[in-house]
Amino acid sequence: MLGDSSIASFTEGSKRATTAANLWPDVRDDILRHKPWNCAKKRVLLAPEVATPPFGFSFNFTKPGDWLRTLQVGEDYCDIPFADESGRILCDLNPLPLRYLWRNANPATYDSMLVRVMTLAMAAQLAYPITSSAAVEQTRYQQLELALRRAASVDGQDDGPEDAGHFDLLTARFRSRYSV
């Protein structure tokens, strides 16, 4: 993609491969954290630590080691007060349901559009070091932004339909309007 020879593996021993290997974890995590990609969503029930917060909340939970970004604390449609502090989630709920983005390091599980985004992200990061051209670098970043928007849109369409929740006001309104 940059007019130089391909990198077959991060471990092939070339300077380009070493540079790419050093960049890859940060590029991957940045792209995965950017949007709730379906291949990077995970659910867990967290057990509290023995030590409790000194004030404000009853329980202290350590984030999973593969955590990249919190998507939801608690069950759907339940606003649970919580705090995110120093790699921990403080909350009054025990156990703690957590939906989060995880560090999915297996590209074989990525959607083909996400693979394209990751490829373009690496090309953008390597563009200047390999070509010494700011124009090539800028072009690669523009291509990345376009591919990222397209992939995010398509990935979001793979989710089920959104629900407005189960609230008494909505139920009463729609029951009376559509009752037979």
As for how many domains the chain has, the answer is 2
- On whether the CB atoms of residues 68 and 102 are closer than 8 A, the answer is yes
CA 118, 86, 38, 155 torsion-angle sign:
negative
Residues 86, 44 share a domain:
yes
Residues 115, 84 share a domain:
no
Identify the pLDDT of residue 170: 59
Compute the distance between CA of residue 15 and CA of residue 26 in angstroms, rounded to an integer.
18
Residues 66, 84 share a domain:
yes
- Does residue 164 form part of some domain? no
> Which tens digits make up the pLDDT trace of 38-73?
999 999 999 999 999 999 999 999 999 999 999 999
- Does residue 168 form part of some domain? no
CA 92, 94, 100, 105 torsion-angle sign:
positive
Residues 99, 47 share a domain:
yes
Residues 122, 153 share a domain:
yes
Query: Nearest to residue 33, comparing CAs of 134, 152, 153?
Result: 152
Residue span of the structural domain in which 29 resides: 9-37+110-159
Query: Nearest to residue 102, comparing CAs of 21, 39, 22?
Result: 39
pTM (predicted TM-score): 0.80
